Structure 1
Amino acid sequence: MRIGIVCGYSFDVPGGVQFHVRDLAEHLIATGHEVSVLAPAEETTPVPDYVVAAGRTVAVPYNGSVARLNFGPVSAARTRRWLEEGAFDVLHLHEPITPSLSMLALWIADGPIVGTFHTAMDRSRALQVASPLVRPLLEKITGRIAVSEEARRTVVEHLGGDAVVVPNGVFVDRFARAPRAEAWCGTDERPTVAFLGRLDEPRKGLPVLAAAIPQVLERLPGARFLVAGRGEVSEYREALAAYGDAVTFLGPVSDAEKESLLASVDVYVAPHTGGESFGIVLVEAMSAGAHVVASDIAAFRSVLDGGRYGALFPVGDAQALAGALVDALADREASAPVRRAASEAVRRYDWSVVTREVLAVYEMATGGPVHDDARTRTVVGRLRAALDGRTEDGR
C-alpha cells in the first residue's frame, strides 16, 4: 500500500506527535508498505529519508505548549505537489484541524483520508469558534482515530461525530532490552528517580517535583533525582543546587539515552498538571521496568488502570507526591509485582499491535474487507468492527 502521512507539527523541535508519526512510518515501512511523510522542517534539519521537509514554521502557543506550524500559499503549493507525486492509496493526517500542513492537505486532497486526533482539552474557545468552519472539511475524512478516550472526548464535544480509539505506540522491546547505565542505577542506599519532559513547560510538572524533592530527602537522604529534557529553568537549578548530587540535570537526551535512563532508575515520576491526551512516556517507563508515580489526570489514570500499574497522586500536590515517592523508594522490592504486571500490560501498546489497528482503519477507508456486523451501519461502527476483526483473526 502507498501511504502518505502528514504531520502538522515541526520536526525541528520534535515532540509526541512527531515521534508517533516517525515510529508509525518506520513500522509500516518495515512491514512492506511504501510510506512518505510530509512535515514542517528547515532544510538544514536532519530528517529520515522518508520525510519530505516542507519548510520553516511559526511558533504558536497552544494547549499549554508551543506548536510550530507551517501554513500559507507556499506550503499549500508544496503540499499539492507532494500529493500529486505520491499518488497515495490512503492519506493519513495527524491533527487535521490544526492550521498547518494537515489542514492544507485536507483541503486539497481527494480519495481515502484517515485523520488522527492527538489533543485532549476540557474547553477551547478556538475550537468552539472554528468548529462550524471545519466540519465540512471533516466530512472528507473517511476514518477518524483518537489516540485515547480523552482525545476522543475532545473530538465528540468540540467537533461533533465520533472516532475510534487507537493508542499511541511504543517499541516495547527496545525499552525492555535497553542496557542499564551504572551512573543512573539505584541502590538500596541511593535509589534513583527520573523525570523526563520539557523543563520550561509548567504543565509537565517540574515545579511540583521541585517542591517535593526536599520532602523526600528529609526521609530518604540518599535518594537521587535525574532530570532530563529541553528548556532552561535557572530558578529551579539554583534552588535545587543546595542538595548537591541528589539532583542532576541531564539536559536533552537521545532516544537511546532515554531508553537506558528508564531501564536504570527505580522510579519514573510524571507530575504533569494537565493537557495530556495519553501518557506515552508512562508506557515507555513501564516497558523499561521502572515503577511509575504519576499525577492523577485522566490520561495517566487510564494508562495505569486506576493505579493497578503504578501509583497516582492528586494533581499539583507536592506533599502527596513526596509521600508516593518515599513509599516506592523505601521498599524497592515491594513494587516488583506492580512492575511485572505493568510490563505485561504495555504489550497492548506495542507498535506491532497498534500498526495492525491502524491498517484496519486504512482498509475500511479504502473499501477493504470489514467483518459483517450490526455496528457497520455507522462509519465509526465499521471502524470498530474492523479493529475487532483484526484482533480476532490476528492479521
Structure 2
Amino acid sequence: MRVGIVCPYSFDVPGGVQFHVRDLAEALMAQGHAVSVLAPADDDTPVPPYLVPAGRSVPIHYNGAVARMTFGPVTAARVRRWLKEGEFDVLHLHEPVTPSLGMLALWIADGPIVGTFHTALIRSRPLQMAYPLVRQSLEKIGARIAVSEDARRTLVEHMGGDAVVIPNGVYVDQFADAEPDARWTGTATAPTIAFLGRLDEQRKGLPVLLAAVPDVLRSVPGARFLIAGRGETGPEEARELLGDDARAVEFLGPITDAEKASLLRSTDVYCAPQTGGESFGIVLVEAMSAGVAVVASDLGAFRRVLDEGAAGTLFRRGDPADLAATLVRVLADDELRASTVKHGLASVRRYDWSAVTSQVLAVYEMVLGDVDDGGAPRPVGEDPSSLRGALGRLVRGDRGGES
C-alpha cells in the first residue's frame, strides 16, 4: 500500500504530533508499506529520507503553545506536486482543520482520505473560525481517528460527526530495555525526579514543579530534579525563584530519544505537571514503559492514561503544594511505587506501535473499501473543484494555471 501522510507542524522544532507521524510512518514501512510524509521544514533541517520538506514555517500561538505551520500559494503548489508524484492509495491527514498543510491537502485532494485529530480543548476559537473554511471538504474524509476520548469529544462538539479512538503509539521495548545512566540514577537519600517538556510553554507546568521544590526538599533534602527540554528557562531563572534550593535543580537541555529512554529508566519518579491542553499524554506511556513511577496532574486525559490513578499518582492540577505533598508521599512509599509501576507495565502494551498500527491499517482498509462504479478502489487524486473560485486562485498561486 502507498500511504501519504501530511503533518501540519514543522520538523524544525518537533513535538508530539511530529513524533507520532514519524513513528507511524516507520511502523508502516516496517510492515512493508511505502510511505511518504509531507511536513513543514527548512531545506537544511535534517529529516528522515521518507519526509518531503514543504518549506519554512511561521510560528503561531495555538492551544497554549507555539505551533510552526506553513500556508499559502507556494505551499499549495508543493502539496499538489507531492500528491501527483506520490500516486497514493490512502492519504492520511493529521489535524486537517489546522491552517497548514493538512487543510490545503484536504482542499486539493480527493479519494481515500483518513483524518487524525489530536487537539483536545473545552472551547476553541481557532477551530470555530476554521470550521466554515473546511466544512464541505470534511465530507471527503472517509474515516476519522481521534487519539483520545478528549480529542474525540472536541471533534464532536466543534465539527460534528464522530471518530474512532486510536491512541498515540509508543515503541514500548525501546523504553523497557533502555540502559540506566549513573548520572541520573537516584539513591535512597538522593532520589531523582524527572521532567520532560518545552520549558517556556506554561501549559507544560514547569513553574508548578519548580514552585514545589522547596517543600519537597524540606522532607527529602537530597532530592534532585532533572529538567530536560528546549526553552529559555534555565539555572538563572531557577535561582531567582528558589534561591539556595536551586542547587537541587539540574537543567539537561534538549536530549535525544535514546537519552530520554535512559533518563526515564534511571529516575525514581517522572513528574507531569501539565496544566491543560493535553489530549493524551504520550510521555506518561513512555514513563510507564520504562518502569518509573509517575506523578501527574489530574487532567482528564492523564487520568484516563493512568487508569484513574492505578498506574500513577495524581495531584491537583496547578497546585504546587499538593504536588510537593504527592511527590514526598510517593518517594516515601515503596509499595505505592511498586504497585503503580506494575499496573503501568501491564497496561502499556495496548499502546505499543504493533497494536496501534494494526488499528490504523484497519481504518485504511475501511476507506479503501469505498469503491467506484467499476469496483476498483479509488486512488488519491486532485479534486477538480479545488481549481475553481477563490480556492482555485490560492491553489494556482493566482497564475491561472498549473503551479
Given the two structures, how large is their TM-score scaled by the length of structure 1?
0.91
Q: What per-residue deviation string (whole Å, max 9, x for no partner) do you get for residues 46-104 of structure 1?
A: 00000001110111000100111111111111110100010000000000011111111
Match of 2:81 in 1: 81
Tell me the distance in 2 between the aligned counterparts of 1:333 and 1:297.
24
- 2:252 equivalent among 243, 250, 253: 250
- Distance change (3 Å), C-alpha of 1:237 and 1:251: farther
Q: CA deviation at 1:124?
A: 1.3
Task: Give the 3-state SS of the residue equivalent to 2:308 in structure 1.
Answer: helix
Q: CA deviation at 1:243?
A: 2.4
Give the partner amino acid of 1:59.
Answer: P
Preserved contact between residue 213 and residue 245 of structure 2 (Cα < 8 Å): no
Tell me the distance in 1 between the aligned counterparts of 2:35 and 2:243.
47
Count of aligned residue pairs for this structure pair: 369
- Distance change (3 Å), C-alpha of 1:241 and 1:359: farther
Q: What per-residue deviation string (whole Å, max 9, x for no partner) do you get for residues 167-213 of structure 1?
A: 00000000000000011111111111001110001110011111111
Q: What per-residue deviation string (whole Å, max 9, x for no partner) do you get for residues 127-172 of structure 1?
A: 2233233211110000100000000000000011111100000000
Q: Does 1:183 align with 2:183?
A: yes
Preserved contact between residue 266 and residue 332 of structure 1 (Cα < 8 Å): no
Tell me the distance in 2 between the aligned counterparts of 1:88 and 1:294.
41
Match of 1:32 in 2: 32
Preserved contact between residue 119 and residue 151 of structure 1 (Cα < 8 Å): yes
Preserved contact between residue 150 and residue 299 of structure 1 (Cα < 8 Å): yes
Give the partner amino acid of 2:310.
Answer: R
Tell me the distance in 1 between the aligned counterparts of 2:36 and 2:129.
33
Q: CA deviation at 1:241?
A: 5.6
Q: Does 1:315 align with 2:308?
A: no
Preserved contact between residue 194 and residue 271 of structure 2 (Cα < 8 Å): yes
Tell me the distance in 2 between the aligned counterparts of 1:63 and 1:185.
35
Preserved contact between residue 240 and residue 247 of structure 1 (Cα < 8 Å): no
Give the partner amino acid of 1:326.
Answer: V
Please list every run of 5 or more consecutive structure 2 residues that lacks an aligned counterpart in the other structure: 372-403
- 2:292 equivalent among 290, 312, 315: 290
Q: CA deviation at 1:368?
A: 7.6
Match of 1:274 in 2: 276
Match of 2:351 in 1: 349
Task: Give the 3-state SS of the residue equivalent to 1:195 in structure 2.
Answer: strand
Tell me the distance in 2 between the aligned counterparts of 1:199 and 1:169.
24
Q: Does 1:65 align with 2:71?
A: no
Match of 2:203 in 1: 203
Q: Does 1:165 align with 2:172?
A: no
Match of 2:400 in 1: none
Give the partner amino acid of 1:118.
Answer: H
Give the partner amino acid of 1:39.
Answer: A
Point out which structure has higher relative CO (alpha carbons under 8 A, 6+ apart): 2
Preserved contact between residue 238 and residue 246 of structure 2 (Cα < 8 Å): no
Q: Quick one: percent identity of the two aligned structures?
A: 69
Match of 1:385 in 2: none
Task: Give the 3-state SS of the residue equivalent to 2:135 in structure 1.
Answer: helix
Task: Give the 3-state SS of the residue equivalent to 1:114 in structure 2.
Answer: strand
Task: Give the 3-state SS of the residue equivalent to 2:67 in structure 1.
Answer: strand
Give the partner amino acid of 1:186.
Answer: G
Task: Give the 3-state SS of the residue equivalent to 1:85 in structure 2.
Answer: helix
Q: CA deviation at 1:8?
A: 0.5
Tell me the distance in 1 between the aligned counterparts of 2:265 and 2:207.
25
Tell me the distance in 2 between the aligned counterparts of 1:287 and 1:368.
38
Q: Does 1:262 align with 2:264?
A: yes
Task: Give the 3-state SS of the residue equivalent to 1:293 in structure 2.
Answer: strand
Tell me the distance in 2 between the aligned counterparts of 1:30 and 1:126.
36
Give the partner amino acid of 1:131.
Answer: Y
